[in-house]
């Protein structure tokens, strides 16, 4: 029996399970994290709970990239970057990213989607769209520091 307040338990199938509560548009929901190693669950649970405390909780079952980017711009980026950066991203996201990726479910977004978008923009060379190494776009950053998390291949 786990100690009171302990959020990590071992299941019968040998996996460790971590649980946290996330605020979603429909109200609070329990979210679960699974792994074979206790330390992995502990690390991922701490990250998820930290994101939840900062308001970066994503209910990705039905959330589209468009909906997520709207929330990201208003809740996370506004006030944390310069006004010029915010204005640029508020222009670039609806005009370049949303037409290409807006209807994709966030849970289905992969590195291939991002590479295709970048390649199309590179071929057309619209003004204002830079490479991922120079961009603050959350959809063009594919590293672990991205608000979307690490891109899946």
For the chain, what's the residue count? Answer: 153
* Distance (Å) of CA 8 to CA 14, 44, 55, 151: 13, 11, 22, 26
Q: Both 49 and 86 in a single domain? A: no
146, pLDDT greater than 50: no
Sign of the Cα pseudo-torsion (92, 94, 96, 102, in order): positive
CATH no. for residue 141?
1.10.150.130
* Residue showing tokens 């063009």: 140
Q: Both 19 and 62 in a single domain? A: no
As for how many domains the chain has, the answer is 2
Domain containing residue 82:
58-153
Task: List pLDDT tens digits, range 92-111.
Answer: 888 888 888 888 888 888 88
Task: List pLDDT tens digits, range 62-85.
Answer: 788 888 888 888 877 877 888 899
Out of 11-15, 23-27, 72-76, 130-134, which region has the weakest mean confidence (pLDDT)?
Answer: 130-134
Q: Both 26 and 84 in a single domain? A: no
pLDDT score, position 135: 46
Q: Both 62 and 23 in a single domain? A: no
Q: Both 48 and 123 in a single domain? A: no
- Residue where a domain terminates, one of 17, 37, 54: 54
């Amino acid at each position: 029996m786990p100690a009171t307040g302990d959020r990590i338990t071992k299941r019968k199938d040998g996996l460790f399970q971590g649980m946290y509560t996330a605020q979603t548009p429909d109200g609070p929901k329990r979210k679960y994290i699974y792994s074979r190693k206790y330390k992995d669950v502990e690390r991922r649970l701490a990250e998820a709970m930290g994101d939840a405390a900062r308001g970066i909780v994503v209910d990705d079952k039905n959330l589209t990239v468009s909906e997520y980017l709207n929330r990201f711009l208003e809740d996370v980026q506004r006030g944390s970057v310069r006004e010029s950066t915010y204005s640029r991203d508020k222009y670039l996201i609806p005009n370049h990213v949303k037409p290409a990726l807006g209807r994709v479910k966030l849970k289905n977004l992969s590195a291939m989607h991002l590479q295709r978008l970048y390649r199309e923009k590179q071929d057309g060379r619209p003004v204002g769209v830079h490479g991922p190494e120079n961009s603050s776009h959350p959809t063009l950053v594919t590293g672990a520091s991205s608000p979307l998390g690490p891109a899946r291949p």
